[in-house]
Amino acid sequence: MSTSTGPGSIVLITRLAKAVYKAASEDVLGMKLKGLSALQSLREGPLPQKDLCVATHLDPNNCVLLLNELEDAGHVRRVRDPEDRRRHIVEITPEGKAALKRAEQAMEDLEEEVLGALSAGERDVLRELLGRALTAQQPA
C-alpha cells in the first residue's frame, strides 16, 4: 500500500490519458486514435474481425463503426473468411500502412510533448510496466 497522499496511480493514468486524447486529435494523427490502435493490431497480419475488436478493447458495434471508417479511408480491407463465410478477416492495405507510419511519427512527437519530463530510460520503464499491466487485463 502506498503512503503517498497524492492521487493514486489510476487517477494519474486517467489524467494523462485525457491529455493524450486531447492532443492526439484526428488533425494531428490523420485518423482517430482508435483507428491507430486497430492498424497497429493489424501490422503483423490479418485478424478475424472478432479478434480485432478484442485487441482494440471495442465492443462489436463500435468496432464495426471504426472498421467502416477505416475501410472508407482505404486503410483496411474486410474479406469473408473462406473457412466460415459468416466471419470477416480484416487486413491492412498499403495505404493503411503508409497512414500508420505517419500517425506513429505524430505519436512519437506527441509522446515527447506529453512525457517530456521523463528521461528516455524512465519512458522505457513506464512503457514496460504499462504493457505488463495491460497484458494482464487481456481475456484468456
C-alpha distance from residue 40 to each of 1, 36, 98 (Å): 35, 6, 12
Q: Beta strands 84-92 and 76-81: pairing type?
A: antiparallel
Query: Quick one: cell of 122?
Result: 524512465
In the chain, the amino acid numbered 82 is P
pLDDT at residue 31 above 80? yes
d(CA 105, CA 52): 23
In the chain, the amino acid numbered 45 is G
Could you report the per-residue pLDDT of 95-140, keeping only the tens digit for each?
999 999 999 999 999 988 889 999 999 999 999 999 999 888 866 5
Residue 26: predicted pLDDT: 93
Q: Comparing 45 with 6, which gets the higher pLDDT? A: 45
What proportion of the chain, given as a percentage, has pLDDT over 90?
Answer: 74
What are the chain's domains? 26-109 (1.10.10.10)
